[in-house]
């Protein structure tokens, strides 16, 4: 039944763990509305013929009181049924929304930077890729996404996930690919001339293949931000040896002067300490609370007076335009490392230590194909 409806509606295969549920709701809404409009049309056609104007039909002056009661009963139950149906859609849809918005705690985080017109990805071990996102299959993946120019939208039809990617903010999206394979990524927000070519691929691999693929990637390039936002202070920062993304973030923090007001060892200074900050519950000066997730932390960098940590003065300047999107991603990864109790040099759970030591090299046919296809399709803008 699922397969039949999927083909009838021309939907791509259901390649993520949530895709089938989302399609289920889609089928229910489509069939209920199609069935409803069919019913209305048939009843209208029947009434049109049955009650058409005839010269000999006497026109009743008022309905019989009994008729009025029946009509009211039909009206109330019809309206009640429809209301229940739509509330039912909402209940199912809301639960799916909460699921889509709540990545599992053990999800593997990968930073995504969008720009006109390409996607680049930074992994916790400090490696980076452009146009191809490598993920382990059957594992929850959380993407922390930001843009260095205009609004884009990260869309993987086969996973049924889509989220806007906004300059100066970080948005999150998560998915779990059910099995290894190659899946298309589209930009789903018109972003200029090259919008339709702003595509990428998700390559889901087995754990061992993923570890191997990451080893083969070049270090993540902080300079991907290009000459526009390039800071002279960072010229000496970009390392030759591969650093972890968190280590890059640590260097960015120093170069950008973050550590003049923040500390990484738990002591409060002019600003709150970063130790244990990521993911914690932050009390705000207006009495409210907020979870310090990637979205809040990015907001705090770009619009620091918006939601202020209780007990601190609103003295932080905005870093809008001063921190490039890749630098923001690296900083977030540094904050995350500080909260999870691992040193910035460690790559974090599942980043690369998946292949057992001494395991034989594995050929990656799907990866090579994806890479060579990618090489032609994506070109850096000068
Ligand atoms: Cu990026 Cu459309």
Query: In angstroms, what is the span from residue 165 Cα to ligand 1's centroid?
Result: 9
pLDDT digits (tens, 9 = 90+) for 165-192: 998 888 999 999 999 999 999 999 999 8
pLDDT digits (tens, 9 = 90+) for 105-134: 888 989 899 988 899 998 888 788 888 999
For 323, other C-beta atoms within 10 Å of its C-beta total: 24
Please indicate whether residue 152, judged by its CB atom, sits closer than 6 Å to ligand 1. Answer: yes
Q: Which of 11, 19, 28 is nearest to 162 (CA)?
A: 19
Q: What six digits make up the tokens of 155?
A: 């869309």
Range 226-246 average pLDDT = 49
Look at residue 241 in the predicted model and tell me its pLDDT.
53
Range 80-105 average pLDDT = 92
Q: From residue 118, how far is each of 127, 294, 320 by CA, in Å?
A: 17, 22, 22
Look at residue 32 in the predicted model and tell me its pLDDT.
92
Average pLDDT, the chain: 80
Please indicate whether residue 187, judged by its CB atom, sits closer than 6 Å to ligand 1. Answer: yes
Rounded to whole angstroms, the Cα distance separating 192 from 291 reads 34
Query: In angstroms, what is the span from residue 306 Cα to ligand 1's centroid?
Result: 28
For 144-158, 238-252, 328-342, which range has the lowest pLDDT when averaged over its residues?
Answer: 238-252
At residue 198 the predicted structure's pLDDT band, cuts being 50, 70 and 90, is very high
Ligand 1 atom with minimal separation from the 194 CA: 2
Q: What six digits make up the tokens of 87?
A: 């509330």
Rounded to whole angstroms, the Cα distance separating 232 from 227 reads 10
Residue 235 has pLDDT above 60, yes or no: no
At residue 345 the predicted structure's pLDDT band, cuts being 50, 70 and 90, is low
Rounded to whole angstroms, the Cα distance separating 123 from 118 reads 17
At residue 148 the predicted structure's pLDDT band, cuts being 50, 70 and 90, is confident
Residue 312 has pLDDT above 90, yes or no: no
For 12-26, 56-70, 295-309, 360-374, which range has the lowest pLDDT when averaged over its residues?
Answer: 360-374
Rounded to whole angstroms, the Cα distance separating 322 from 136 reads 34
At residue 242 the predicted structure's pLDDT band, cuts being 50, 70 and 90, is low
Rounded to whole angstroms, the Cα distance separating 182 from 327 reads 28
Containing 108, the helix (H) or strand (E) segment is: strand 108-115
For ligand 1, atom 1, the nearest C-alpha belongs to: 152
Do 166 and 173 meet the contact criterion of CB atoms below 8 Å apart?
no
Range 293-309 average pLDDT = 86
Ligand 1 atom with minimal separation from the 152 CA: 1
Q: Residue 145's beta-bridge partner residues? A: 112, 171
Range 42-65 average pLDDT = 81
Please indicate whether residue 197, judged by its CB atom, sits closer than 6 Å to ligand 1. Answer: no
């Amino acid at each position: 039944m699922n397969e039949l409806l999927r083909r009838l509606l021309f939907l791509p295969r259901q390649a993520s763990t949530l895709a089938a549920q989302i399609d289920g709701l889609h089928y229910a809404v489509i069939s209920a509305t199609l069935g409803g409009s069919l019913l209305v049309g048939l009843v209208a056609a029947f009434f049109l013929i049955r009650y058409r104007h005839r010269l000999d039909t006497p026109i009743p002056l008022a309905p019989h009181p009994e008729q009025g009661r029946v009509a009211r009963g039909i009206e109330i139950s019809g309206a009640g049924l429809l209301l229940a149906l739509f509330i039912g859609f909402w209940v199912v849809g809301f639960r799916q929304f909460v699921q889509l918005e709540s990545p599992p705690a053990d999800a593997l985080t990968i930073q995504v930077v969008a720009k006109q017109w390409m996607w680049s990805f930074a992994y916790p071990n400090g490696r980076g890729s452009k146009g191809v996102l490598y993920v382990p299959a059957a594992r929850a993946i959380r993407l922390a996404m930001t843009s260095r120019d205009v609004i884009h939208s990260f869309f993987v039809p086969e996973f049924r996930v889509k989220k806007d990617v906004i300059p100066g903010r970080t948005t999150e999206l998560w998915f779990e690919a059910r099995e290894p394979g190659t899946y298309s990524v589209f930009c789903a927000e018109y972003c200029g001339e090259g919008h339709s070519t702003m595509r990428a691929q998700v390559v889901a691999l087995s754990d061992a293949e993923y570890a191997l693929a990451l080893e083969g990637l070049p270090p993540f390039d902080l300079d991907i931000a290009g000459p526009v936002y390039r800071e002279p202070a960072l010229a000496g920062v970009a390392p030759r040896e591969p650093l972890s993304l968190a280590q890059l973030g640590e260097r960015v923090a120093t170069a950008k002067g973050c550590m003049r007001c923040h500390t990484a060892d738990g002591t409060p200074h002019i600003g709150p300490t970063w130790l244990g900050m990521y993911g914690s519950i932050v009390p705000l000066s207006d009495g409210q609370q907020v979870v310090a997730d990637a979205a809040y932390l990015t907001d705090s960098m770009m619009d620091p007076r918006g939601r202020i940590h209780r007990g601190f003065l609103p003295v932080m300047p905005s870093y809008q335009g001063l921190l490039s999107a890749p630098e923001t991603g690296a900083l977030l990864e540094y904050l995350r490392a500080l909260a999870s109790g691992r040193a910035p040099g460690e790559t974090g759970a599942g980043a690369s230590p998946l292949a057992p030591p001494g395991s034989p090299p594995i050929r990656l046919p799907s990866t090579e194909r994806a890479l060579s296809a990618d090489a032609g399709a994506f070109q850096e803008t000068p």
